[in-house]
Amino acid sequence: SAEKHFKKQRETSDNASSNLSKIWFRRMRDLLREIDMNLRCIPGNEPVDFLDLGCCPGGFSSYILGKNRKANGTGVSLPVAEGGHEFFLEDRHRSRFQLFSANFTYYQLGSSVIDNERLQSVPSDVLGKPFDIVLLDGHQLRTQVSALPWDSDRLLISQLILAIQSVKEGGTIIMKLPMPHKPVTARILHLFETISSRLLRWKPKLMHANRGIFYAVAKGVGRGEDSHKIPIILQALKNLWFSLTFGGGEASGRHILPEDLDFLISMDDLVSYRLDWLTKLGTPLWKVQKLALERLYNKKCGN
Q: Which helix (H) or strand (E) holds 198?
A: strand 198-202
Contacts of 35 (CB under 8 A, 6+ apart): 41, 174, 202, 204, 215, 217
- Residue 297: predicted pLDDT: 81
Which pLDDT tens digit goes with each residue over 34-59? 999 999 999 999 999 999 999 999 99
User: Inter-axis angle of helices 183-195 and 275-301, to 10 degrees?
Assistant: 130
Domain spans, the chain? 17-301
Low-confidence ranges of the chain (pLDDT < 70): 1-17, 140-146, 302-303
Q: Given this structure, which CATH class describes domain 17-301?
A: alpha beta
Determine the Cα–Cα distance for residues 67 and 60; give it in Å rounded to an integer.
11
- In tens, the pLDDT along 221-250 reads 999 999 999 999 999 999 999 999 999 988
Q: Which pLDDT does position 144 carry in this prediction?
A: 52
CA distance 31 to 46: 22
